[in-house]
Structure 1
Amino acid sequence: MDQGRSGVLLMVAACMIWGLSPLYYKLLTHVPPFELLSHRMVWSMVFYTGLMALQGRLPEVRAALGTPRSAAILGCAALAISANWFLFIFSVQIGLVRETSLGYYIFPLVAVLIGVVAYGERLGALQWAAVALATLAVIVLTWGLGTAPWVSLMIATTFGLYGYVKKGLKVGAKISVTAEVILLSPIAIGWLAYLHLVAPGRGIFGDDFATSALLVFSGPITALPLILFSAAAQRVNLATVGLLQYLNPTLQFFCAVVIFGEPLTQWHVIAFGLIWIGLALYSAQSFSQERARRRMSVTSAAEPPV
């Protein structure tokens, strides 16, 4: 199998795990969200550090945390992703998977705006049109429902900020995520210790085998898609990665409407429609830019050295 095809399959697998993860978290609605988040942090840390130890890469993790600047960046990234994880867990538990889907659809356009504001990146006409349509979608939803889609906006923003912060790092995805969960784990362990030791009876872990096993599984279900994603990103171009990522919110949307039966108002239909049109325009511009870059690189390689 060639690199491109294997990369696409790896990317699809990662997005399917992310997109269908509401089914897993729905099984744990009886676990308070902050307790569930703490278990996700702890078991992710166990999984990642174990994987890094097997690969002999723990020194790289220590090096990533070894300088004040790198540790500060990783700390900010850890706070952003923990907020994103909490919002996602909380949304699933209260029946707002529809809003998480919208948030992850909006995220690429939020990332574009962060690039404009933080890095002075220039957008093409289609990309500006996509941002305008996303803004219109939020306005329509706010008008129709009488309140802004705060969950969607916060999920998109926290994930966008996570990407922005990590852009300043020069370490790989697995190393940085391992360092992030290591930084978060003392808080998580402290909260779980309080639930089980200081306030006995409040902690869920250990009450029954099924729940305990599901909580432990939060580590692999967090780590595996990122590992698949990292491997895929090395094999396919960025435009393909960007397009395939829409599989994640699409599957979340399917879970929300078809499996969980969350209501879909006319305002949601209009908002999702505007977002989908905007993403189509954004993807078209991205593919156009990717082709232009490839043509330039081929032309440059073909030119004889002076």
Structure 2
Amino acid sequence: MSAAPEAPAVDRRGLLVTAGTFVLWGVVPVYWHLLKMVPAMQIMAHRVVWSALLVVAWLMLSNGFGWLRKLAAQPRVLPALALSAVLIAFNWGLYIWAVNAGHVVETSLGYFINPLVNVVLGVLVLHERLRRAQWIAVGCAALGVAWLTLNAGSPPWIALGLAASFGLYGLVRKLVAVDPVAGLGLESLYLFLPSLAYVLWAEAGHGGSFASGWGWGTDLLLVFGGVVTAVPLVGFAYGVRRIPLSVVGLLQYIAPTLQLLLGVWFFHEPFGLDRALGFGAIWLGLALYAGEGLWHSRRRPGA
């Protein structure tokens, strides 16, 4: 019997690209912090404008109008991607505001919660069934959020808003089977004109100072924000097709872990025992869910 062939190099490349994508998402709070003198809505509008130009240019160069005709031939796709565009815009805007308002630790909490929000949406919307250990994992995370709410005096709205918006975004994109980059291109087109209109309105004497007041360094950061937005999304789309989803599920915790470390060590946000207990309950839930999923997959014949 011949020896089993080695894993193809493309798999290792996919692993590196996907891991690198999550590392970029993990350290991106530092980038948005460099733009803290710019109002969050203007950062958001510039982010959409420049990323839309980049993504659509890439699609046009690689496939002409073919990608757009293919999407337009599926009428159900058009309103669904309009909804997903609104959800991702809300997520991006809230994230940028939270980073520059000094809530990096809470943004990390949102992305730690997000996988379990996906589980809850799967149960409520897709009628998926959970095993007992998975329910225990969700319960641990819920206890963690409840503990953080009790100690803060109010729910962690930023974290819950980020987790819910990104979870709903993922649900919409799951229900509509489209190419990831083409879908991002259409979402960008939906957001482009409102964002461009806001940028022009701001520049017409309403607080905008692009190419005049903030300096060329800030202007370049705003333009390059389109690259910071689009490249990781394209990298994720590339990598996720080449490695198992179970590996993607584990790699996704790189980003919020780095965000948490940045929040504590770089931005010097408080992280006392009360917060650590709440995060600990959520981490326990994530560990239980991931561990149970791996164990169950290994038990299945032919897994």
TM class, shorter-length:
over 0.9
How do 1:22-61 and structure 2 match up within 5 A?
Answer: 22-61=29-68
DSSP-derived class of the 1:269 partner: helix
Residue 173 of structure 1 pairs with residue 180 of structure 2: yes
Q: Which moved more, 1:259-268 or 1:111-120?
A: 259-268
- The aligned residue for residue 148 of structure 1 is 155
Structure 2 residue corresponding to 1:203, chosen from 198, 201, 208: 208
- The aligned residue for residue 212 of structure 1 is 219
- Shift of the alpha carbon at 1:10? 1.1
Taking only the aligned residue pairs, the percentage that are identical comes to: 37
How far apart, CA to CA, are the structure 1 residues paired with 2:79 and 2:64?
21
Residue 240 of structure 1 pairs with residue 244 of structure 2: no
How far apart, CA to CA, are the structure 2 residues paired with 1:177 and 1:286?
30
How do 1:246-285 and structure 2 match up within 5 A?
Answer: 246-285=253-292
How far apart, CA to CA, are the structure 1 residues paired with 2:231 and 2:160?
26
Q: Give the AA of the match of 2:261.
A: F
Deviations 1:136-180 (A, max 9, x none): 001101111111101000100000000111112221110101110
How far apart, CA to CA, are the structure 2 residues paired with 1:253 and 1:66?
43
DSSP-derived class of the 1:102 partner: helix
Structure 1 residue corresponding to 2:302, chosen from 272, 296, 305: 296
- Shift of the alpha carbon at 1:70? 1.2
How do 1:74-223 and structure 2 match up within 5 A?
Answer: 74-197=81-204, 199=205, 202-206=207-211, 207=213, 208-223=215-230
Deviations 1:87-141 (A, max 9, x none): 1001001000000000000000000000000011011222111110110001101
Deviations 1:24-76 (A, max 9, x none): 00000111111110001000101101111221253213431454421100000
Q: Give the AA of the match of 1:159.
A: F
Structure 2 residue corresponding to 1:7, chosen from 5, 14, 22: 14
TM-score (norm 1): 0.92
DSSP-derived class of the 1:101 partner: helix
How far apart, CA to CA, are the structure 2 residues paired with 1:174 and 1:238?
18
Q: Give the AA of the match of 2:153.
A: G
Q: Which moved more, 1:115-124 or 1:2-11?
A: 2-11
TM-score (norm 2): 0.93
How far apart, CA to CA, are the structure 2 residues paired with 1:62 and 1:28?
37
